């Protein structure tokens, strides 16, 4: 790969990683999905790069990749936390758990009947 092409690919990857970081910080998960294909193609092109020719720039890209991976991990942890909280809220809407006078755990099922009345 020619040096000009190598630096074009490296610059494109650098710019994409900055866009990815911005999307992560803004919570734009749809934008992340759109960037995935471009990122994968650039990574394939970077696989052909001679390391000695662009070592300094590759180190900078590696640091940005690590930074963005930490942001992705945090976003995933947040999504999992929300999912757990929503599951707990659903469970609370279906039954109420409490401790009786003996200290034993008990629950009361809340049978919320939902019906629709049709009027002519």
Task: Tell me the pLDDT tens digit for each residue of 57-109.
Answer: 888 888 999 999 999 999 999 999 999 999 988 887 788 888 888 899 888 88
Q: Are 48 and 1 in contact, with CB atoms under 8 Å apart?
A: yes
Is residue 48 situated within a structural domain? yes
Residue where the block lists tokens 């911005």: 22
Is residue 103 situated within a structural domain? no
Is residue 62 situated within a structural domain? yes
Structural domain for 31, as ranges? 3-97
pLDDT the model gives residue 6: 78
Please name which of 46, 23, 47, 45 lies closest in space to residue 34, comparing C-alpha atoms: 23
Is residue 22 situated within a structural domain? yes
Is residue 24 situated within a structural domain? yes
pLDDT the model gives residue 53: 58
Alpha helices in 27-120 (DSSP H): 29-46, 55-94
Query: Beta-carbon neighbour count of residue 6 at 10 Å?
Result: 19
Is residue 104 situated within a structural domain? no
Is residue 27 situated within a structural domain? yes
pLDDT the model gives residue 70: 95
| pLDDT > 80? residue 55 | no
Distances (CA, A) of 118 to 53, 113, 114, 115: 75, 16, 13, 10
- pLDDT range class, residue 15, cuts 50, 70, 90: very high
- pTM here is 0.65
| pLDDT > 60? residue 1 | no
Number of independent structural domains in the chain: 1
Over the range 82-106, which residues count as b (16 or more CB within 10 Å of their CB) and which as e? eeeeeeeeeeeeeeeeeeeeeeeee
Those residues with Cβ within 8 angstroms of residue 48's Cβ, 6 or more apart along the chain or in another chain: 1
| pLDDT > 90? residue 47 | no
Is residue 106 situated within a structural domain? no
pLDDT the model gives residue 4: 64
User: What's the rounded Cα separation, in Å, for the pair 17 and 31?
Assistant: 12
């Amino acid at each position: 790969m020619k040096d000009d092409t190598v630096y074009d690919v490296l610059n494109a990857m650098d710019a994409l990683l900055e866009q990815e970081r911005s999307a992560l910080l803004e919570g734009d998960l749809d934008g992340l999905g759109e960037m995935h294909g471009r990122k994968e193609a650039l990574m394939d092109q970077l696989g052909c790069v001679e390391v000695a020719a662009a070592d300094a720039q590759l180190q900078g890209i590696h640091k940005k990749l690590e930074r963005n991976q930490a942001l992705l991990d945090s976003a995933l942890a947040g999504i999992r936390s929300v999912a757990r909280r929503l599951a707990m809220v659903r469970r609370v809407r279906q039954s109420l758990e409490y401790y009786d006078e003996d200290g034993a755990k008990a629950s009361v099922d809340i049978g919320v009947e939902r019906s629709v009345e049709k009027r002519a």
